[in-house]
């Protein structure tokens, strides 16, 4: 029984603290502007907004490999695509028909 208790204490003491995991996660997220992370008991929660799904996936993949991360909850939002503005309408108010002026 004492051996099992020692093993459990050693196992929990050997895992990185949330603050050290947070620091490592923040370093990995420097390539993902607009993304923040919170670490609680080894669970990383990602928040923020990115331009596309590839950036969302890249942020998640970057933190999954950090030592001490047990799981990742990805709450990152992908920005809605902004349609391009319509082309300017041709201004016909000043156009003179040369056939009518002759």
Q: What's the CATH number where 29 sits? A: 3.30.1340.30
The answer to whether residue 97 is domain-embedded is no
Range of the domain at 60: 16-78
3-state SS, the chain, equals CHHHHHHHHHHHHHCCCHHHHHHHHHHHHHHCCCEEEEEECCEEEEEEEECCHHHHHHHHHHHHCCCCCCEEEECCEECCCCCCCCCCCCCCCCCCCCCCCC
The domain tally of the chain equals 1
Domain membership of residue 86 (yes or no) is no
pLDDT at residue 74, as a whole number:
98
Question: Packing angle between helix 53-64 and helix 18-28, nearest 10 degrees?
Answer: 140
| pLDDT, tens only, 13-31 | 567 899 999 999 999 999 9
Let me know if residue 46 belongs to a domain.
Answer: yes
Contact yes or no for 57/32 (Cβ under 8 A)? no
pLDDT band at 101 (very low <50, low <70, confident <90, very high): low
- Residue 63 falls inside a structural domain: yes
């Amino acid at each position: 029984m004492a051996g099992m208790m020692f093993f459990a204490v050693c196992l929990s003491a050997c895992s990185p603290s949330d603050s050290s995991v947070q620091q490592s996660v923040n370093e990995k997220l420097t390539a993902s502007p607009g993304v923040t992370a919170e670490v609680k008991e080894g669970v990383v929660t990602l928040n923020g907004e990115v331009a596309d799904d590839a950036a969302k996936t890249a942020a998640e993949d970057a933190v999954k490999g950090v030592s001490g991360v047990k799981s990742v909850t990805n709450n990152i939002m992908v920005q809605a695509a902004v349609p391009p503005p319509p082309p300017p309408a041709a201004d016909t108010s000043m156009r003179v028909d040369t056939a009518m002026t002759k």
